[in-house]
Amino acid sequence: MFQYDLVVVGSGPAGRRGAIQAAKLGKKVLVVEQGKRVGGVSVHTGTIPSKTLRETALNLSGWRERGFYGRAYRVKDEISADDLRRRLLITLDHEVEVLEHQFARNRVQHIRGKASFVDPSTLEVVKEDGEVIKVTAASILLAVGTKPFRPDYMPFDGKTVLDSDELLELEELPRSMVVIGAGVIGIEYATIFSALDTAVTLIDPKPTMLDFIDKEIVEDFTYQLRDRNMKILLGTKAEKVERLDNGKVELLLDNGRRLVTDMVLFAAGRMGATDTLNLPAAGLEADSRGRLKVNPETFQTSVPNIYAAGDVVGFPSLASTSMEQGRIAARVAIGAVAKEPPKYFPYGIYAVPEISTCGLTEEEMKERGIPYECGIARFRETSRGHIMGLDTGLLKLIFSLKTRRLLGVHIVGEGATELVHIGQAVLNLKGTVEYFVENTFNYPTLAEAYKIAGLDAWNRMGDIKSEL
């Protein structure tokens, strides 16, 4: 009766993982993507571009070597926007090629066009050449993601006042930059540009930032940013933003301060990309931020055959979690068993320095009344840290005093987003402080910090085994 078992709208992490999962289980699947190439925000304007930009910035600036050669050390004296773009284009090509190959190998059909609902089982797709087709499906997975929030009071011009999508089209690197929004995206770009010698000011109306991260980690991170001269103005907002005749931008803050800068990056929020889906035709409604409500276990919307996954359903809005959500949604949609993922997933912030975290923060331990002990290791205590010239970097482990289980791992510093997975495994496999004390770690590695932090906690907790 239907043309497809599953039609997926959007080819980002949630959409492509959902589509491939259903196809692997023998279902007929179509992906509709309005963008020029498959991959979604993740490949074209979000995760991969920002991480490629970061890697290029760190390599060309010689950032990682400065511990040895001093703050003035540079690999390339004049880094241009072109230098950054070159590596980006090569990386994106590789990413898209892999995705297209995955679709072909798994027999996932995909068409380019904008989808909107005709009824709960029918979508109209407007192709690039204007042709309109209709597709029907037993189930529909909405994986349409988000787009930058662009308030009317911001004089966006794509050159001096930009959103995070436009940043990738930069023609020249700014000497100074104001980033509005101290969320993950704002912080990542602020610190990347600061590593490129741009004088960065980060502003946010909230008095604190990264509230979901362990406070001690945020304090260490903030110290490092201020130490390299980044201005962080929290608890203040830009009341007026104006482009000046001399090509600069002026910001008037609510505390009376005036900032003049080469460029403003507005990174304060994103909206679910649901405005063109004609949701009422399917009996659906988005919230004020364009997000869709779903059952958090099945990703089913209020309309039984329509599922939504990825950023369009809100927190945590990560490529990593979106993939899992897409996979689960597709399995439920086609009637396959879908196991809930482990409770604790890692959160990575690819700022300079990186932050990564999994499990409970010290603040959450206190709130929940769980007696705990912490173990801390600084990367400069490890031999690998000496070899790499690291004078920063911190790993913090939190253990329950009652069960001795690891309940939180929090890292700021080089390689944090990779290192966190050791802690994540121990945490989800219900490991205790003894794991770190009794196991051998490769030497010299940064992972050795786990042993140091484990021993630090163990020393304070006492050796239960020897007491028995």
Ligand X SMILES: Cc1cc2nc3c(=O)[nH]c(=O)nc-3n(C[C@H](O)[C@H](O)[C@H](O)COP(=O)(O)OP(=O)(O)OC[C@H]3O[C@@H](n4cnc5c(N)ncnc54)[C@H](O)[C@@H]3O)c2cc1C
139 is written with which tokens?
A: 């189930």
Q: Which residue number, 108 or 312, has a Cβ lying nearer to ligand X?
A: 312
> 46, 375, 385, 393: which one contacts ligand X (CB under 6 A)?
46
C-alpha to C-alpha distance for 288 and 197, rounded to whole angstroms: 38
Cβ-based nearer residue to ligand X, 311 or 414 = 311
CB nearer to ligand X: give 42 or 198.
Answer: 42
- Alpha-helical runs (H) found in 80-175: 81-105
Among 7, 10, 263, 374, binds ligand X (CB under 6 A): 10
Establish if 14 lies at the interface with ligand X (CB under 6 A).
yes
For ligand X, the binding residues in 297-316 under the rule CB under 6 A are 310-312
Q: Is 135 an interacting residue with respect to ligand X (CB under 6 A)?
A: no
Burial 62-86 (b: 16+ CB within 10 A, else e): bbbbbbeeeeeebeeeebeeebbbe
Distance in Å, CB of 284 to ligand X, minimum: 13
CB of 184 to ligand X, least distance (A): 7
Among 7, 20, 58, 185, binds ligand X (CB under 6 A): 185
Name which of residues 398 to 437 contact ligand X (CB under 6 A): none
In this complex, which beta carbon is closest to ligand X, that of residue 113 or of residue 423?
A: 113
> Is omega for the bond preceding 120 within 30 degrees of 0, making it cis?
no
Distance (Å, whole) CA 33 – CA 63: 38
- Per CB under 6 A, 294 contacts ligand X: no
Do strands 122-127 and 109-119 pair parallel, antiparallel, or not at all (unpaired)? antiparallel
Candidates 319, 352, 377, 447; binder of ligand X (CB under 6 A) is: 319
Tell me how many degrees the CA angle 236-224-218 measures, rounded to the nearest 5. 65
Going by DSSP bridges, is the β-strand pair 372-378/355-359 parallel, antiparallel, or unpaired? unpaired
**Among residues 5, 8, 19, 47, which is the contact residue for ligand X, using CB under 6 A?**
47
Which positions from 347 through 386 interact with ligand X, judged by CB under 6 A? 348, 350
Q: How far is the CB of 380 from ligand X (least distance, A)?
A: 26
**In the complex with ligand X, which residue's Cβ is closer, 47 or 361?**
47
134 binds ligand X (CB under 6 A): no
For position 91 contacting ligand X by CB under 6 A, the verdict is: no
Selected range binding ligand X among 45-53, 381-389, 420-428, 445-453, rule: CB under 6 A: 45-53
Q: Confirm or reject binding of residue 33 to ligand X (CB under 6 A).
A: yes
The residue range among 6-14, 20-28, 77-85, 297-305 that interacts with ligand X, by the rule CB under 6 A, is 6-14
Q: Which residues, other chains included, contact 106 with Cβ-Cβ below 8 Å and sequence gap of 6+? A: 19, 20, 23, 24
- Mention every residue, 6+ apart, whose C-beta is less than 8 A from residue 468: none
449 belongs to the binding site for ligand X (CB under 6 A)? no
> Is 67 or 310 the residue whose CB approaches ligand X more closely?
310
Cβ density class 6-45: b for 16+ within 10 Å, e for less = bbbbbbbbbbbbbbbbbbbeebbbbbbbbbebbbbbbbbb
User: Is 163 among the residues that bind ligand X (CB under 6 A)?
Assistant: no
Q: Supply φ then ψ for residue 217, to 5 degrees.
A: -70, -45
Binding region for ligand X (CB under 6 A) out of 46-54, 194-202, 251-259, 297-305? 46-54
| Helix H or strand E segment including 112 | strand 109-119
Angle at 14 between CA 8 and CA 15, to 5 degrees: 20
CA distance 195 to 230: 10
Residue (163 or 373) nearer to ligand X, CB: 163
Long-range contacts of the stretch 269-272 (C-beta < 8 A, 24+): 269/148, 269/149, 269/181, 269/183, 270/146, 270/147, 270/148, 270/149, 270/185, 270/311, 270/317, 271/146, 271/147, 271/148, 271/149, 272/144, 272/145, 272/146, 272/311, 272/312, 272/314
Q: Measure the CA dihedral 181/187/189/194, to 10°.
A: 110
- Binding residue count for ligand X, defined by CB under 6 A: 39
Overall residue count recorded for the chain in this entry:
468
Q: How far is the CB of 290 from ligand X (least distance, A)?
A: 10
Burial of 124 (0-12, 13-18, 19+ CB in 10 A): middle
318 touching ligand X, by CB under 6 A? yes
**Using rule CB under 6 A, residue 145 touches ligand X:** yes
| C-alpha to C-alpha distance for 404 and 462, rounded to whole angstroms | 10
- Shortest distance, position 124 Cβ to ligand X, whole Å: 10
Q: Which of 5, 21, 34, 411 binds ligand X (CB under 6 A)?
A: 34
Tell me which of 56, 61, 139, 164 binds ligand X, using CB under 6 A: 164
Q: Is residue 146 a contact point for ligand X (CB under 6 A)? A: yes
Nearer to ligand X by Cβ, of 164 and 224: the residue is 164
User: Of 102-110, 153-161, 232-240, 271-279, which segment contacts ligand X by CB under 6 A?
Assistant: 271-279
Q: Which residues bind ligand X (CB under 6 A)?
A: 9-15, 32-35, 40-42, 46-47, 50-51, 114-115, 143-146, 164, 185, 273, 276-277, 310-312, 317-320, 322, 348, 350
